Structure 1
């Protein structure tokens, strides 16, 4: 071969952990296995794109073309994954959950170095995420790394002595026990509200009330309560704590208005039980247990 011809020889190397695609004028020619290639290319129309097989995801403009017009070559070089409507594919890398393919999508992954498998899941029928995938998400978060599943999975932890309320597209779907829970959020709007089941205190601030004999009285009380049936409460009360505050306030106002100033000052302790009796049953019917009412201050207002 003459010296001039040698100048037109182009050399490309595809290493052992790589695969190549040979393009001519930007069009696909063929796949290249590991080797050193020499092409006579006087007009520099050839190009070789190299792909590292340790990064198996094949995201390329030619994916659809290759699947349609080079099916045998695709079968030789790739794992092909396709999803339908309402489906996702959980992709495993060497047996570990790695990423996912969204509904109605196609993805190719290089064969040769990384073992890639996939599991199709109907996310329209299955709301809960399999435990092995949940664990992968939690592990990534504990390592302070972003998980590729974050776009598809909602993960929430319910602490001890709490329940979680899962809302799907604005509707209460289920109650969650303490622990880690995960749900597919593709195609739906999810949120989880945490509710503390322990006994809590509520301070009903200073109230200026009128007694039966039209005397002005300053009253301050505290109450204790807990949620007994969270779903019942949430389905019927928009803001449970505000509702509880107002009901105790109304009960206090009624109890004071039914008695004279002297009766109230003489029997201060009876006001606790009176307020409790006036509101307890109504709250209980809505899933709220009122456990105690205590009047801290009871004094006549003098002008």
Structure 2
């Protein structure tokens, strides 16, 4: 009994006899006696060369077959990008692969994952298809980045986007912000020399000028915060409350100078500092308000006494001038009469005589009565 097998132009056949591979079959029709335990496996040349249940090494002794195959070996420390006719198809993991090279042109790009950064030859447009195997880091325009392999610093990164393989090497990118930054110390409780507890709200601005130094420090922000606390305590603890309130503006200059002394150790440059608020306990506020109110009342009384004294002195000087100058006295009388007339709507007089004479006699009678 015969078996017939037809192999198309885009196919190849693999002839097995008693389970052992014999040779490759070209397109055509073949007939075999079934008693010879002969089988033919028909291979689609558009698909990878893969025979179920058989290792690739069993076929590599056939030179005729190998000439029509593109064989690629991916080592343990590699990823290989597989392209067909220039189009990315897949990423190959460690192993050995074979593809028919008759219908399509196969090319391979080897990437050593011991060097985690993706090669420049890899088109960034295919990266979404590699998302499982690739990690991305982005450095903003105002940042400086530093890349570490297995916690060892490798190099500085300029602003941009960077891609690294997820492989045996641990990758960490640490960005450092180069913009002006601000640190606030809110509600810091400090005791003055005279044992009065108060709270300060303080703020300082700084820029990182040595990013490497800042990365070498654990809890960088916390250490600056603690340093600021210590400097404030050093200054406030040497002053009494009254001195502190009078010299409040000096706190900023003192703290800034001390921070600048320590700036190099932190890799930063302190730009400015200032006190936002000095918050006193409730009972201390009441005491200070009472003192302030008493001081203002005393100042107001002093001003009133000065004005009264000045007014009395002015009246005395005027009286002396009128006593020595009758004409001036007469003018003052007329001024007084003018003011009386401004307050009176109408004046009724009985009897004859001139109006001015009557008023003059009236004033004369009042003077006589006062004498």
TM bracket (short chain): 0.7 to 0.9
Relative to 1, partners in 2 of residues 1:245 and 1:44: Cα closer, same or farther, differing over 3 Å?
farther
Total equivalences in the alignment? 282
Q: Deviations over 1:201-237 (max 9, x none)?
A: 22322111111222111111233233222112112x0
Aligned CA distance change for structure 1 residues 270 and 184 (closer, same or farther; 3 Å) = same
2:299 corresponds to which residue?
A: none
Give, in whole Å, the separation in 2 of the partners of 1:18 and 1:256. 90
Q: Does residue 170 of structure 2 align to residue 189 of structure 1? A: yes
User: For the pair shown, which has the larger CA radius of gyration, 1 or 2?
Assistant: 2
Matched, 1:50 2:43: yes
Query: Offset of 1:262 from its aligned partner?
Result: 1.6
Question: How big is each residue's C-alpha offset from its partner over 1:241-295, in whole Å with a ceiling of 9 and x where there is no partner?
Answer: 2222222222222222232222222232222222222223323332122223232
Separation of aligned partners in 1, 2:136 and 2:11: 37
**Conserved? CA contact 1:58–1:110, under 8 Å:** no
Q: Is the 8 A contact 1:22 1:32 kept in 2?
A: yes
TM-score normalized with structure 2 length: 0.64
Q: 1:64 to 1:280 in 2, by over 3 A?
A: farther
TM-score scaled by length of structure 1: 0.76
Question: 2:73 matched to which residue of 1?
Answer: 82
CA RMSD of aligned residues (A): 3.3
Greater fraction strand:
1
Which residue number corresponds to residue 129 of structure 1?
A: 118
Question: Which runs of 5 or more structure 2 residues have no equivalent in the other structure?
Answer: 284-371
Match of 2:189 in 1: 208
Structure 1: any 5+ residue segments left out of the alignment? none
Superposition map of 1:10-21 within 5 A: 10-11=4-5, 13-21=6-14
* Secondary structure of 2:239 counterpart: coil
Task: Specify which of 134, 139, 142 is matched with residue 125 of structure 2.
Answer: 139
Within the alignment, does 1:270 sit opposite 2:250 as a pair? yes
| Residue of structure 2 in register with 1:107 after alignment | 97
Partner of 1:256: 236
Q: Which residue of 2 aligns with 1:62?
A: 55
**Whole-Å Cα distance in 2 between the matches of residues 17 and 185 of structure 1?**
38
